[in-house]
Amino acid sequence: MENVEYQKLSKKSILINGIFITLGAILMAVGLEIFLVPNHIIDGGITGISIILSHLLDVKLGIFLFVLNIPFFIIGYKQLGKRFTISILYGIIVLSVFTSLLTPVAGITDDILLAAVFGGITIGVGVGLVIRFGGALDGTEILAILISSKSALSVGQIVLFFNIFILGSAGFVFGWDHAMYSLIAYFIAFKMIDIVVEGLEQSRSVWIISDRDTEIGEALLTNLGRGVTYLNGEGGYKGTGKKVIFCVINRLEEAQLKSIVDRIDPNAFLAIGEVAEVKGGQFKKRGVH
């Protein structure tokens, strides 16, 4: 019975992932064909190269999006596994099909700034959904993952390196004004991807050292509904005992926490860091008074 239930959950998970990858790919197609391409604004990666080649050779964008990503499918299949590669292949197929279907549709604005802003938002949400549900829409991401695994560079640094050249080339093809608008669209898309993938409630770990630790801990519990943990510490300089307050909040609560700590003890030591994942314990909020 346990195996059957597991299989059902797996199929449900695959279906959900497929739905959101489809939605994300469609949103990216809309961002490209309705906002960016009609205004000669490009995106980064293989998509940016495809937009440039489509303009120069007068061939549908969807064809280049599929063909140029084929080598990366092969690399990804050999190095990153079958499931991940299938997810990417499916996403690219949906993206290629819908960009081709939307090509005859005219852009909804001639204002290049509006096109950059709303194109960036739409593409960012679409790509974010695809990444969040286990796929990708650009072969350079696969290449970046492989290079990152064999070097000290992060995936983000490698993708940025590629995109500097790709976005810069837009200046020679479409003019430097359009290249700068492309940078605006890329930056907005990048930030939207972060919000969609991590969520507005991305967790933060908080470390507080204060002589008024009990007051601060009780205030956090009362005002934020967050439980706290007291850790025993020792000052490295004087060797005196200290209590360290530890808790986990989301980023929407960060400003309020800082205000609480500053009000009770302006001299308190406060360190806040990002948390990749929170599981178990009592992280869920309690009722606040």
| Domain parsing of the chain, residue ranges | 2-198, 203-274
What pLDDT is attached to residue 288?
53
Whether the per-residue pLDDT at 168 is higher than 90: the answer is no
CA nearest to 117, candidates 23, 195, 181: 181
pLDDT, mean of residues 75-95: 80
Q: What is the four-CA torsion angle of 6, 12, 14, 18, rounded to 10 degrees? A: 180
Give the percent of the chain with pLDDT over 90: 33
Q: Which CATH class is domain 203-274?
A: alpha beta
Whether the per-residue pLDDT at 4 is higher than 50: the answer is no
What pLDDT is attached to residue 28?
95
**β-bridge partners, 273:** 205
Whether the per-residue pLDDT at 99 is higher than 70: the answer is yes
Contact assessment for residue 17 and residue 130, using Cβ atoms and an 8 Å cutoff:
no
| DSSP secondary structure of 115-177 | HHHHHHHHHHHHHHHHHHTT--S-HHHHHHHHHHHTSS--HHHHHHHHHHHHHHHHHHHH-HH
Q: How confident is the model at residue 7 (pLDDT cuts 50, 70, 90)?
A: very low
d(CA 265, CA 212): 7
d(CA 136, CA 152): 22
What pLDDT is attached to residue 155?
62
pLDDT, mean of residues 59-74: 88
CA nearest to 131, candidates 70, 183, 193, 61: 193
Among 8-17, 96-105, 241-250, name the most confident range: 96-105
